[in-house]
Amino acid sequence: MTKTINASQRVRGLRRVALAAAVTLACVSARPALAADAATIQRGAYLAVVGDCAACHTAPHGKPFAGGLPMNTPLGRIYTTNITPDPDTGIGGYTQADFARAMREGVAKDGHNLYPAMPYPSYAKVRDEDVAALYAYFMQGVQPVRQSNRDADIKWPMNMRWPLKLWNAVFLEKGAYQDKAGKDAAWNRGAYLVQGLGHCSSCHTPRGIGFNEKALDESGDAWLTGAALDGWFASNLTGEHNTGLGRWSEADLAQFLKTGANQHASAFGAMTDVVNKSTQAMNDTDVNAIARYLKSLPAKGGDGGPAYAYDAQATKVSLSRPANDAGARVYTAYCMHCHGADGRGFAPMFAPLAGNPNVLEKDASSLINVTLNGTGDLVIQGMPAPYPMPAYADVLSDKQIADVLTFVRAGWNNQAGAVGAAEVAKMRTRTQAAR
């Protein structure tokens, strides 16, 4: 009897040992999967930065990714959506397939079409593994926030969503980015980021009559040639000498993406948010790849004028006799201490005006807007820029702003067109209404 009991105990003991061993083996086997999951979430967090998701889906003083940011469109104002994993008001009920469809095709889980203010024509190029990483991050790495989405301010019948199915049929090009033969890894990585998650084309490519981007890659003549957008003009990113990146080196471009300023220009408008929340946090390999790709683009757009060459002589004469020039009077009183009599500023702290691509651009929207309303703070590695452009809407009249901008656009051999007081008045009214 004793032997039987001992044998039974030994069997039970062996079973416990076997079970413990099995559990241990299962835990050991699970560790790489857990590590891979953590790595995937971390990668998704980085890709969300590359895609600048926070800039649109986080409202001022709002909770991360809870939506509510107002965006002006030609049809009316819309509000960005909650993309936290809250199951009721966010995307917590989305499967990975639902998430991928929303990203790449602009269709929500319940089947309604998203407005193409969501840059899904660009996100259509994002590869499967990156979509999976983003999904893992938004489901497991983002704090859920219960905040209902706000309806758009677009009136009927323009608020109907079904026409967007037709829009997609005509303008949406499906398919992830495929590396181009004959191009190196850095070029292809840069092209993938610019065309896909970076969605640079959403702002920097002009749109057609259907509000569609006129080109979705470098094969189109309009690709990244600059576009008017919500009171600003998003710059030409091709190799155009005057208004584009023709005089910038790859190092200049990398510096701009990392800090928002270089010897040629400073960030303003929506680009300030892009630098603050996205490009400064990108790794050097990706920043350099973007610079490589953009610098490979041939010159497109511009006005076909002669290449800019610095010449300060006529401007020096005007500044020495400001009483004869209304614009020179305003410049000496309000602008010269930062931007200099020579127009070269003190880059990168104070932007140059001589030869600045934004000054040379035919569309003066950005110059008018930034003079009226100033710039948001560039915050690099937690440190705000010490001297942001101040707002002069309450200081200078429409005519004074028109005069000084006309002076700047003609000065130092810039040879850009004059600005009228009516243009300033229109921008003043528009930006006041948008606040």
Q: Tens digit of pLDDT for each residue in 328-373? A: 999 999 999 999 999 999 988 899 999 999 999 999 999 999 999 9
CA distance 268 to 265: 9
CB of 245 within 8 A of CB of 253?
Answer: yes
CB of 125 within 8 A of CB of 177?
Answer: yes
| Residue finishing a domain among 129, 150, 176 | 176
Where residue 218 sits, what CATH number does that domain have?
A: 1.10.760
Same domain assignment for residues 172 and 199: no
Dihedrals φ, ψ of 190, to 5°?
A: -65, -45
pLDDT one-digit tens code per residue, 144-176: 999 999 988 878 777 788 889 999 999 999 999
Q: Is 338 annotated for ligand binding? A: yes
In a domain, 8, yes or no: no
In a domain, 286, yes or no: yes
| Residue finishing a domain among 307, 333, 363 | 307
CA distance 420 to 401: 9
CA distance 286 to 190: 7
Q: Counting Cβ atoms within 10 Å, is residue 326 exposed (0-12), middle (13-18) or buried (19+)?
A: middle
CB of 260 within 8 A of CB of 271?
Answer: yes
Same domain assignment for residues 317 and 262: no
For residue 342, the 8-state DSSP code is T
Compute the chain's Rg from CA coordinates.
27
Residue 116 preceded by cis peptide, ω within 30:
no
Same domain assignment for residues 145 and 240: no
Same domain assignment for residues 122 and 197: no
Q: Is 241 annotated for ligand binding? A: no
Same domain assignment for residues 302 and 336: no
Same domain assignment for residues 376 and 318: yes
CA distance 201 to 217: 8
CB of 66 within 8 A of CB of 58?
Answer: yes
Q: Is 200 annotated for ligand binding? A: yes
Same domain assignment for residues 291 and 397: no
CB of 171 within 8 A of CB of 105?
Answer: no
Where residue 324 sits, what CATH number does that domain have?
A: 1.10.760.10
Threshold 0.85, pTM exceeds: yes
Q: Counting Cβ atoms within 10 Å, is residue 341 exposed (0-12), middle (13-18) or buried (19+)?
A: middle
For the chain, how many structural domains are there in total? 3
Give residue 226's pLDDT band: very low, low, confident or very high (50, 70, 90). Answer: very high
Same domain assignment for residues 109 and 204: no
In a domain, 7, yes or no: no
In a domain, 280, yes or no: yes
Same domain assignment for residues 171 and 39: yes
User: Quick count: other Cβ atoms within 10 Å of Cβ 318?
Assistant: 18
Q: Is 61 annotated for ligand binding? A: no
Same domain assignment for residues 426 and 359: yes
User: Quick count: other Cβ atoms within 10 Å of Cβ 57?
Assistant: 22
In a domain, 3, yes or no: no
In a domain, 21, yes or no: no
pLDDT one-digit tens code per residue, 257-284: 999 999 999 999 999 999 999 999 999 9
Q: Is 340 left (phi over 0), alpha (psi -120 to 50) or beta?
A: left
In a domain, 25, yes or no: no
Q: Is 27 annotated for ligand binding? A: no
Query: 73 pairs with which residues across the strands?
Result: 76
CA distance 186 to 293: 8
The pLDDT, as a whole number, for residue 28 is 31
Same domain assignment for residues 366 and 400: yes
In a domain, 261, yes or no: yes
Among 147, 191, 155, CA closest to 58? 147
User: What six digits make up the tokens of 30?
Assistant: 């699970």
CB of 56 within 8 A of CB of 69?
Answer: yes
CB of 360 within 8 A of CB of 414?
Answer: yes
Q: Is 57 annotated for ligand binding? A: yes
| Residue finishing a domain among 307, 340, 374 | 307
pLDDT above 60 for 3: no
Q: Is 339 annotated for ligand binding? A: yes
CB of 145 within 8 A of CB of 193?
Answer: no
Give me the amino acid identity at 406: T
The pLDDT, as a whole number, for residue 283 is 98
| Domain assignment of residue 430, given as a range | 313-434
pLDDT one-digit tens code per residue, 49-63: 999 999 999 998 999
pLDDT one-digit tens code per residue, 63-89: 999 999 988 877 788 899 999 999 999
CA 169 to chain centre: 26
pLDDT one-digit tens code per residue, 102-119: 999 999 999 999 998 899
Give residue 11's pLDDT band: very low, low, confident or very high (50, 70, 90). Answer: very low
Q: Is 335 annotated for ligand binding? A: yes
Same domain assignment for residues 319 and 295: no
User: Quick count: other Cβ atoms within 10 Å of Cβ 285?
Assistant: 11
Q: Is 199 annotated for ligand binding? A: no
